[in-house]
Amino acid sequence: MSRRAAALVDREKEDTVSHADLDAIAAPHALEPTDGPLLPEELGLAFRCHGLPLEALRDELTPAGLHYLVVHWDIPHVEPGRWTLSVGGNVRAPFELTLDEIRALPAETVPVTLECAGNGRGRMRPRPVSVPWLDEAVGTAAWTGVPLATVLERAGIGRGAREVVFRGADRGVQGGEDQVYARSLPVAETKRPEILLAYAMNGRPLEPQHGAPLRLVVPGWYGMASVKWLTSIEVVTEPFEGFQQAVAYRYQTGPDDPGERVERMRVRALMVPPGRPDFFSRRRYLDAGRITLEGRAWSGSGAVERVEVAVDGRWADARLEPPLGDFAWRGWSFGWTATAGEHQLTCRATDAAGNVQPLESPWNYQGMGGNGAQRIAVTVR
């Protein structure tokens, strides 16, 4: 653990739910980025953290069970009947809500693309050591719930409030610290009407692994902001410095760089791999002739305004589909006359803020925000 991280752990007693002697925790601290082989722990995380099979990019809304999934510790067992959400801190009127009370409030449904901030990490060199995602940590669902703003208005945010802290029921050890999962949003951000306290996903009750009975959904931000198994909302007057905010999820140049908070999703396009795959190599085989390449693109900083496809390094514009929503990926297609031989396909997106997806992910110490372009090797026969 870096000096900065150690100092923060020391400071953040408020976020430490157990009074275990931290020195006695034999957990490995953050490992340095490596050019070495994949570790058994990284493999275990790859099986626990489910990826989107890229052929599922053909669906506007990701079917249940195919949405990417990160569970930091264990999926907690939450009994909906005994669960409540507490809303408090620097508010005029703190209160608790049962699930039935939340369901009785006016609901919204918003299609949202969520992506793990660590997507692309497994391709970075040297490789930051955590979940070694390649391209698959993404998914889009129609989330249904109560706008966060509705609940915060009812509580009445007090003067001097700076951030709102969201805590989950999931608990475990990370970086030597025994903790519950907790993240914050600036107060101004919490007023966005599309931020939901969601209890349904694609028209069905939330699954345990997606945060049942209630989760936060923060459209536009990487997934770490969308706290699952939500148990409390606390308005605070100081910047929140919990582990998942101040130590994890930072753009850092090295272990002692405080870095910048990871927030909005960087612009990115993915393609449905065309043709048929080889089981092991995932190399694609397809027949010569006219085909349509297709995929989806998204950004947390504005609408996707352009998608380009390159066949063997020659770029051309793809055709964009109408947007699915302001916070969801946008479909695209590209006609290609496939000729016999070996080809390399890739794609990249540009958003309304002028961000152009890079071909290689910019490296950083924790492997965050990797949006390097997908590359697909195809054999045309």
Q: Between 134 and 320, whose beta carbon lies closer to a copy of itself?
A: 134
Give the shortest CB-228-to-a copy of itself separation in angstroms. Answer: 13
Give 183's strand partners: 166
CB 130 within 8 A of CB 118: yes
Give the shortest CB-221-to-a copy of itself separation in angstroms. Answer: 20
Q: Between 178 and 241, whose beta carbon lies closer to a copy of itself?
A: 178
DSSP 212-236: TT-EEE-TTB-GGGS-SSEEEEEEE
DSSP collapsed to 3 states, 155-205:
HCECCCCCEEEEEEEEEEEECCEEEEEEEEEEHHHHCCCCCEEEEEECCEE
Task: Tell me how long the chain is.
Answer: 381
Q: Between 73 and 95, whose beta carbon lies closer to a copy of itself?
A: 73
Give the shortest CB-177-to-a copy of itself separation in angstroms. Answer: 10
Give the shortest CB-313-to-a copy of itself separation in angstroms. Answer: 20
Q: Between 122 and 300, whose beta carbon lies closer to a copy of itself?
A: 122
Distance CA 156, CA 254 (A): 40
Distance CA 40, CA 50 (A): 17
Closest alpha carbon to 300 in 200, 193, 198, 223:
223
Q: Between 20 and 316, whose beta carbon lies closer to a copy of itself?
A: 20
Q: Between 111 and 273, whose beta carbon lies closer to a copy of itself?
A: 273
Based on C-alpha coordinates, what's the Rg of the chain? 21
Q: Between 25 and 236, whose beta carbon lies closer to a copy of itself?
A: 25
By the criterion CB under 8 A, which residues form the site for a copy of itself? 20-21, 24-28, 31, 36-38, 40-51, 53, 55-56, 58, 63-67, 69, 71-75, 77, 122, 129-130, 132-134, 136, 171-174, 178, 207-210, 273, 276-283, 285, 342, 379, 381
Give the shortest CB-58-to-a copy of itself separation in angstroms. Answer: 7
Give the shortest CB-283-to-a copy of itself separation in angstroms. Answer: 6
Mark out the alpha helices in 109-147 (DSSP H runs).
none
Q: Between 273 and 369, whose beta carbon lies closer to a copy of itself?
A: 273
**For residue 213, is the peptide bond before it cis, meaning its omega torsion is within 30 degrees of 0?**
yes
Q: Between 71 and 233, whose beta carbon lies closer to a copy of itself?
A: 71
Q: Between 155 and 180, whose beta carbon lies closer to a copy of itself?
A: 180
120 φψ region: left (φ > 0), alpha (ψ -120 to 50), beta (else)? left
Q: Which amino acid is at 342?
A: E
CB 362 within 8 A of CB 269: no
DSSP collapsed to 3 states, 334-351:
EEEEECCEEEEEEEEEEE
CB 140 within 8 A of CB 62: yes
> In sequence order, what are the residues at sequence separation of 6 or more whose Cβ sits closer than 8 angstroms to the Cβ of residue 330?
296, 297, 298, 303, 304, 307, 320, 321, 323, 324
Give the shortest CB-68-to-a copy of itself separation in angstroms. Answer: 9
Give the shortest CB-307-to-a copy of itself separation in angstroms. Answer: 22
Give the shortest CB-196-to-a copy of itself separation in angstroms. Answer: 20
Give the shortest CB-55-to-a copy of itself separation in angstroms. Answer: 4
Q: How far is CA 367 from the centre of its chain?
A: 13
